[in-house]
C-alpha cells in the first residue's frame, strides 16, 4: 500500500536531501586527489608534499626500511642501529609518547624530527619555534660534520628556527637563524629539521637534498629505518585507522541520512501504542448486573419473554411461517421437514407461552425455561445462523 506523504514530510525530505547533496559536494571539492594522496610527508602520498619517492628510494638503495604504524611503546629495545623518522607529525603526542621517543634516543637510536611540531617531542631549551612557514630557501652549512660534508647546501621551507644551546650543534643556518641542528640525547642522536622539504616528492630533487637525507640516515647496511606513520593517523589497529580515514566522513553521512529518515518516519506515523485488550470480566459483569436488576424488579417472566421472543423469531424465519404461529404449528412444521426435534419442544413452547405473562413466576422456573430454550435452539442451530 503506497504511503501518502504530507507537505511537512516532503519539506523535511527536501531539506535532508539538499543537505546531503551539499555534504557530498563539499567532500568532493575538499577531498584531495585520490591518486596523489594527502599533501603531507607520508610514505603513502604521491603528492608534491608527500614522501613516497623517498620511501621507494630507500628500497632501491637497499635500506632495511619499515613503515612504523605502532605506538612509541612498541619501538625496538635495541636502538643502536635504528633510525626513527618523525616527518611533520599531524597529531600531538602524549607525554608518555614523548618520553618513550626520547628514551629510544637515549638508548642509542637516531631520531630525525621535522617541522614545527618537533618541539613537542623535545620540549627543552635546546630549540624553539620562532617563525611560520615561508617560501623555499637555500640554506648553507655552518659547521663541519659527516652530514654537511655530504651536502654543503640544502633547500627547504624555513618553518622554524632552532635556538642552539650547549648540547646542540647547528648544521645549517641562514641570516634568520639555525634551520638544522644536531644534538646528543643520551647515547643517541637527534637531528631537527626546520621542515620536511628535503625528503618530500617535490623537494627531493633540489640540489643537496638527497645527499643530506641519506647522510642523516647512515649507510644502507648499518641501520634499520623506521618511518613513522603512527602520528600521521595510520594506526596498526583497524578502529584507529578508520577514525583517521575518509570512512569516518562516510559514516557521518550515513548517520545523517538515518537520522533524517527516522525523523520523517516518526513524524508521519507517530508513536505506536499497544492495542487495549478488553477485560474478559466485562460481559460477566453486565450479565450479573442485568440479573440483579431482574431479581430486584421481580421480573422473572420478562427474562422468559425476551428469550422466548428471540427463539420464536429465529424459528419462524427458518420455517417460513407467520411470526404469531402457535406452538402446535411450529412443532408440525418441524415434523414436516423431518428435522430431529426434541419431544419436549412443544411442551417447552407452551410453558413459555403461559409463563411470559405471569407476574408470580419464580426465578428458578424462569431459569429452567431459558435453559431449555437455549438447548433447543442449539440443537436446531438457530443461534449459529443468527450470529452469521
pLDDT in tens, 188-243: 999 989 889 999 999 999 999 999 999 999 999 889 999 999 888 777 655 555 55
- Which pLDDT belongs to residue 340? 65
Query: Strand runs (DSSP E) across 207-292, as ranges?
Result: 224-228
Residue ending a domain, among 194, 228, 245, is 245
In a domain, 250, yes or no: no
pLDDT for res 210: 94
- Report the DSSP pairing between strands 64-68 and 188-193: unpaired
Q: Residue holding cell 604504524?
A: 69
Do 184 and 316 sit in the same domain of this protein? Answer: no
Looking at the structure, tell me whether residues 362 and 236 fall in a common domain: no
Q: Is residue 15 part of a domain?
A: no
If asked whether residues 78 and 137 sit together in one domain, one would say yes
Q: Within a 10 A sphere around the Cβ of 45, how many other Cβ atoms?
A: 22
Per the domain annotation, does 164 fall within a domain? yes
Residues 161 and 295 in one domain: no
Q: 202 and 75, same structural domain? A: yes
Identify whether 331 is part of a domain: yes
Distance CA 132, CA 145 (A): 28
214 is a domain residue: yes
- Supply the pTM of this predicted model: 0.55
The boundaries of the domain holding residue 296 are: 281-387
Structural domain count, the chain: 2
How much is the average pLDDT of 317-332?
83
- Identify whether 266 is part of a domain: no
Q: Do 85 and 232 sit in the same domain of this protein?
A: yes
**Rounded CA separation 72/33 (Å):** 30
Number of neighbours of residue 269 by Cβ within 10 angstroms: 9
Is residue 18 domain-resident? no
* Listed residues 218, 245, 272: the one ending a domain: 245
Cβ atoms of 83 and 164 closer than 8 Å: no
- Least confident range of 40-44, 94-98, 291-295: 291-295
pLDDT-based confidence at residue 39 (cuts at 50, 70, 90)? confident
Q: Are residues 218 and 101 in the same domain?
A: yes
On whether both 289 and 372 belong to a single domain, the answer is yes
Identify the CATH number of the domain in which residue 72 sits: 3.40.50.880
Q: What is the pLDDT of residue 264?
A: 66
CA distances, 276 to each of 230, 270, 280, 284, 339 (Å): 59, 17, 12, 19, 44
- What is the rounded CA–CA span in Å between residue 173 and residue 158? 10
CB atoms within 10 A of CB 340: 7
In this structure, are residues 229 and 241 in contact, taking their beta carbons and an 8 Å threshold? no
User: Which residues, other chains included, contact 20 with Cβ-Cβ below 8 Å and sequence gap of 6+?
Assistant: 253, 256, 257, 260
Q: Are residues 208 and 62 in the same domain?
A: yes
67 and 147 inside one domain: yes
Q: Is residue 261 part of a domain?
A: no
Q: 209-217 and 52-60 are packed helices; what angle lies between their axes, rounded to 10 degrees?
A: 60
Instruction: Give the single-character DSSP code of 170.
Output: E
Quick one: 204 and 312 in the same domain? no
**Pair 286, 141 in one domain:** no
In 186-330, beta strands by DSSP E: 188-193, 224-228
Amino acid at each position: 500500500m503506497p504511503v501518502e506523504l504530507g507537505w511537512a514530510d516532503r519539506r523535511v525530505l527536501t531539506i535532508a536531501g539538499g543537505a546531503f547533496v551539499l555534504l557530498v559536494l563539499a567532500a568532493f571539492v575538499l577531498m584531495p586527489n585520490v591518486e596523489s594522496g594527502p599533501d603531507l610527508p607520508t610514505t603513502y602520498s604521491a603528492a608534491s608534499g608527500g614522501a613516497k619517492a623517498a620511501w621507494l628510494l630507500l628500497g632501491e638503495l637497499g635500506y632495511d626500511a619499515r613503515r612504523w604504524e605502532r605506538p612509541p611503546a612498541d619501538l625496538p629495545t635495541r636502538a643502536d642501529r635504528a633510525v626513527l623518522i618523525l616527518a611533520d607529525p599531524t597529531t600531538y603526542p602524549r607525554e608518555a609518547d614523548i618520553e618513550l621517543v626520547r628514551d629510544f634516543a637515549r638508548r642509542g637510536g637516531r631520531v630525525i624530527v621535522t617541522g614545527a611540531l618537533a618541539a613537542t617531542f623535545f620540549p627543552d631549551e635546546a630549540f624553539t619555534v620562532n617563525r611560520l612557514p615561508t617560501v623555499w630557501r637555500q640554506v648553507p652549512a655552518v659547521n663541519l660534520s659527516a652530514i654537511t660534508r655530504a651536502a654543503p647546501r640544502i633547500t627547504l621551507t624555513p618553518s622554524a628556527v632552532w635556538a642552539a644551546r650547549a648540547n646542540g650543534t647547528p648544521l645549517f643556518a641562514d641570516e634568520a637563524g639555525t634551520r638544522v641542528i644536531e644534538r646528543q640525547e643520551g647515547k643517541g642522536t637527534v637531528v631537527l629539521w626546520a621542515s620536511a622539504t628535503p625528503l618530500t616528492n617535490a623537494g627531493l630533487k633540489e640540489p643537496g637534498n638527497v645527499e643530506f637525507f641519506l647522510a642523516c640516515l647512515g649507510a644502507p647496511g648499518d641501520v634499520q629505518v623506521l618511518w613513522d606513520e603512527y602520528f600521521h593517523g595510520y594506526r596498526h589497529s583497524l578502529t584507529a585507522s578508520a577514525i583517521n580515514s575518509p570512512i569516518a566522513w562516510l559514516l557521518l553521512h550515513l548517520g545523517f541520512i538515518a537520522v533524517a529518515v527516522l525523523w520523517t518516519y516518526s513524524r508521519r506515523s507517530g508513536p505506536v501504542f499497544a492495542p487495549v485488550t478488553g477485560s474478559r470480566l466485562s460481559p460477566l459483569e453486565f450479565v450479573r448486573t442485568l440479573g440483579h436488576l431482574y431479581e430486584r424488579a421481580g421480573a422473572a417472566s420478562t427474562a422468559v419473554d425476551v428469550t422466548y421472543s428471540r427463539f420464536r423469531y429465529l424459528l419462524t424465519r427458518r420455517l417460513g411461517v407467520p411470526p404469531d404461529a402457535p406452538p402446535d404449528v411450529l412443532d408440525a412444521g418441524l415434523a414436516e421437514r423431518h428435522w430431529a426435534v426434541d419431544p419436549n419442544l412443544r411442551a417447552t413452547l407452551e410453558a413459555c407461552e403461559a409463563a411470559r405473562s405471569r407476574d408470580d413466576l419464580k426465578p428458578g422456573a424462569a431459569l429452567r425455561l431459558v435453559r431449555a430454550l437455549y438447548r433447543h435452539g442449539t440443537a436446531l442451530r438457530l443461534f449459529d445462523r443468527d450470529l452469521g
